Amino acid sequence: MSTSGSENHTNYLNDGYGVKSWLLTTDHKRIAILYMISITLFFMIGGFFALVIRLTLLSPNGTLVSADTYNKMFTMHGVTMIFFFLIPSIPAVLGNFLVPMMIGARDLAFPKLNLLSWYIYVLGGIFTLSAMVLGGVDTGWTFYTPLSSGYSHTNVVPTVIGVFIVGFSSILTGLNFIVTIHKMRAPGLTWFRLPLFIWAHYATSVIQVLGTPVIAVTLALVGFERITGVGIFDPNIGGDPILFQHLFWFYSHPAVYIMVLPSMGIVSEVVTCFSQRKLFGYRQMAFASMAIAVFGFLVWGHHMFVSGQSVYAGMAFSALSFLVAIPSAVKVFNWTATLYKGTIRFNTPMLYAFGFIGLFTIGGLTGIVLATLPVDVHVHDTYFVIAHFHYIMVGGAVMGYMAGLHFWWPKITGKLYPEGLAKFSALTLFVGFNLTFFPQFILGYLGMPRRYHIYPPEFQVLNVLSTAGASILGLGYIIPFFYFMWSLRKGKVAGNNPWNAKGLEWLTPSPPPTFNFDKTPVVTEEAYAYPEEDLAGG
Amino acid sequence: MTGHTISRNRYFLIFAALIVLLVLTISMAYVDLGPFNIIIALTIAIIKAVLVILYFMHVRYSSRVTWVFVSAGFFWLLIMFTLTMSDIVTRFSF
């Protein structure tokens, strides 16, 4: 295997420079870069909507935008961030780049399908962006019926068509990963030698393949009812609005695990590398990933405790929801145990991983609060829920993405980012995040409902704190954007393995050659085979 | 897939079976059997789906891992129906 550290070797970045060489590429690494650019664009658009929301909430009178515009802002923030940023973020960018490299393969099993998935993503994005440009949509990202299917006069149909289309991109990515992981592992790389990043992506792919068709069909039915007037979800014409919620959440609750499972995979890679320790309880961690994927499909009714769902079903969903806490807690405890007596380095990816563990724990524990049926009746549709899921999705999923981006940036680009500035930005992001969302727990508990642009004056101080936090959080995202761009030209050459990490992707040059490995690697050791010190001496 | 080929006659046989089942579905719609109409219609639909999956999608001659994933698809469908029905059949009973 080549161990050349020279940046002048032929690699996937200098193997063709024309626009065509990028737009028609079937190289998983280039497709990952195409996805990275696309999701960053959508992150900025979604971030703009968040900015308008937070600026509006600075004042209790909602003076910045009208109620109707505010409805559109939170809807388009949710739609953009969930379907066009969070769901594709780690799988389509880091997963695409790393899954073949981590298992010693030349590419994914279906490279052309991989490129097709990006084009489908772009097509879905164009539909949804068109809906925004044409005036937006105001149903909430949840598209609840009968508002979405009958009463909303905004651009529901183009938006749901966009979400419908982008789902197929997600299915293709998941399918590609499942087949690749089954069929293309390097000699010696048995299932229980796989990095947990791979296990996490396998579990995520199962959710993508089994869950996404349901949201696609459900949204198609909304469009069908809206266009034809055939009663499916509208009770006035014989439909059942709660059926929509069942079908919607059957996908959309597991979708949370599409976002957070890959982050968990990243945290496992980062924590082991920056503590130079074997992962504590490897097999339990692998099984926990699969358990989260399966249990995640049994709990969706906890979104519907006050929607008219049967109270008996509510009790069953409440009890089932507690199940997810078990594998999630296994992961948190095992990461913590991994650190024990490790040689810990506080590099930027590790700071983000620590951020993930802490914030995900808060998000997870407040999830238990919300899964408790009688408590949820009190805090349902309040800012408590907003704070909870942002702790999971931003504090968890995005922190993980940032950890992964920093960890593998030297591998992706061959360049190092400026470590001091990156640490500062990680801390800025952590402080900004907590200042934005922690006050929202209190606001929600005190009774401030979500999705209103006005609120009682006594809630203003906490809202101002939240908006102030959001501006710091925004800074925490802008700084990395600039230093990553800077590092492409001015960053130090990274070498093959700047972090002294284990894993096949670190054996190949940075940036990797087009087909990843000069010779197919043979795996002879477990994952995370960092040298162990004797712990017996205490 | 294991590379097993299905004869052309088998394809025509399955196609004929699907057409017969389709005619049966349409015919049954004109006979009022009360609640049994939906049961019969769904049974026929399931038989048709199984035929398509086994033969037209070649699952019958595929590897075990393909069987596992096909079964998982049905299992997930079962989860969706069961938990949704847990609401619908008990919604008005308290």
CB contact under 8 A, A312 and B90: yes
Mean pLDDT of B75-82: 94
Interface test with B, best of A215, A306, A309 (most B CBs within 10 A): A309
> Which residues, in sequence order, are bridge partners of residue A382?
A449
Check pLDDT > 80 for residue A283: yes
Q: Does A210 touch chain B (CB under 8 A)?
A: yes
Q: Which residue of A has its CA nearest to B88?
A: A310
Is A292's pLDDT higher than 90? yes
Angle (CA) A336-A326-A213 rounded to 5° is 115
pLDDT at B55: 92
Structure tokens at A507: 């054996």
Distance to chain A for B93, nearest Cα, Å: 8
Residues B43, B86 share a domain: no
pTM, two decimal places? 0.94
Give the pLDDT confidence score for residue A334 in this predicted structure: 97
Q: Is A148 helix (H, G, I), strand (E, B) or coil?
A: helix
The C-alpha atoms of residue A370 and residue A318 are separated, in whole angstroms, by: 9
CA A308-A314-A318 angle, to 5 degrees, is 145
The pLDDT of residue A534 is 53
Residue A306 reports pLDDT greater than 50? yes
- Mean pLDDT within A407-422: 97
Amino acid at A32: A
Residues of A in contact with B93 (CB under 8 A): 310, 312
The reply to whether residue A310 touches residue B88, judged by beta carbons under 8 angstroms, is yes
pLDDT digits (tens, 9 = 90+) for A373-393: 999 999 999 999 999 999 999
In chain A, the percentage of residues whose pLDDT exceeds 90 is: 92
CA–CA distance, A523 with A485 (Å, rounded to integer): 35
Could you read off the pLDDT of A66-102 as tens digits, one per residue? 999 999 999 999 999 999 999 999 999 999 999 999 9
**Is 70 exceeded by the pLDDT of residue A6?**
no
B72 with B41, same domain: the answer is no
Residues B40, B5, single domain; the answer is yes
d(CA A249, CA A66): 30
Testing the interface with A: which of B71, B75, B83 to mutate, by most A Cβ within 10 A? B83
Cα of B68 to nearest chain A Cα, Å = 12
Q: What is the mean pLDDT of residues A474-493?
A: 96
Phi/psi for A138 (5° steps) reads -130, 20
For residues B66 and B32, is the Cβ–Cβ distance under 8 A? no
**Token pair for residue B12?**
């025509």
**Three-state DSSP class for residue A508:** coil
Pairwise CA distance, residues A168 & A176, whole Å = 12
Whether pLDDT at A408 is above 90: yes
For chain A, which domains are there? 26-506 (1.20.210.10)
Give me the phi and psi of A520, to 5 degrees please: -60, 125
> Are B54 and B77 within one domain?
no
Enumerate the residues of chain A whose CB falls inside 8 A of the CB of residue B65.
182
List Cβ neighbours of A263 (8 Å cut-off, separation of 6 or more).
A90, A356, A360, A396, A397, A399, A400, A401, A403, A404
Q: What is the pLDDT of residue A5?
A: 45
First to last CA, chain A: 39
Average pLDDT, chain B: 90
- Is the bond leading into A521 cis (omega within 30 degrees of zero)? no
Co-location of B67 and B38 in the same domain: no
pLDDT of the residue at B7: 87
Q: What is the Cα–Cα distance from A363 to A358, expressed in whole angstroms?
A: 9
User: A415 — phi, psi (to 5°)?
Assistant: -125, 150
Co-location of B26 and B52 in the same domain:
yes
Q: Using one digit for the tens of pLDDT, what is the confidence trace for A167-217?
A: 999 999 999 999 999 999 999 999 999 999 999 999 999 999 999 999 999
Domains contained in chain B, number:
2
**In whole angstroms, what is the distance from residue A102 CA to residue A109 CA?**
14
Dump pLDDT digits (tens) for A136-145.
999 999 999 9
Q: CA nearest A140: which of A380, A451, A454, A452?
A: A451
Sequence-distant (6+) residues with CB within 8 A of A112 are: A26
The band of A537, judged by pLDDT with boundaries at 50, 70 and 90, is very low
Confidence of residue A535 (pLDDT cuts 50, 70, 90): low
Residues of A in contact with B79 (CB under 8 A): 297-298
B3 and B34 fall within a common domain: yes
Residue pair A40/A81 in contact (Cβ under 8 Å)? The answer is no
Identify the residue with better confidence: B33 or A80: A80
Query: Which chain B residues are closer than 8 Å to A301 by Cβ?
Result: 83, 87
Residue B54 and residue B84 in one domain: no
Cβ–Cβ gap A298/B80 under 8 Å? no
> Is B94 a residue whose pLDDT tops 80?
no
CB within 8 A of A417, min separation 6: which ones?
A: A348, A406, A409, A410, A480, A483, A484, A487, A491
Same domain, yes or no: B76 and B44: no
Report the half-sphere exposure of B13 (CA within 13 A, side-chain side): 6
Q: Are A39 and A86 in contact (CB under 8 A)?
A: no
Question: Searching chain A, which residue's CA lies closest to the CA of residue B92?
Answer: A310
Q: Which among B65, B69, B87 has CB closest to A310?
A: B87
- When scoring A243, A247, A312 by the number of chain B Cβ atoms within 10 A, the one with the most, hence best to mutate, is A312
Distance from CA of A209 to the nearest CA of B (A): 9
Alpha carbons A44 and A85: distance in angstroms, whole number: 10
Among A274, A294, A413, A440, which Cα is nearest to A356's?
A: A274
pLDDT band at residue B5 under the 50/70/90 scheme: confident
Verify that B1 and B14 share a domain, yes or no. Answer: yes
Q: A150 pLDDT band (50/70/90 cuts)?
A: confident
Range of the domain at B45: 1-62
**With an 8 Å Cβ cutoff, are A297 and B90 in contact?**
no
Same domain, B48 and B94: no
**B7 and B44 co-located in one domain:** yes
Chain B residues within 8 A (CB-CB) of chain A?
Answer: 65, 69, 72-73, 76, 79-80, 83-84, 86-88, 90-94
Mean pLDDT of all residues in chain A? Answer: 94
Nearest to A436 by CA among A475, A403, A469: A469
Q: Above 50 in pLDDT, residue A2?
A: no
Average pLDDT over every residue of A350-379: 96
Cα(B1)–Cα(B57) distance, integer angstroms: 10
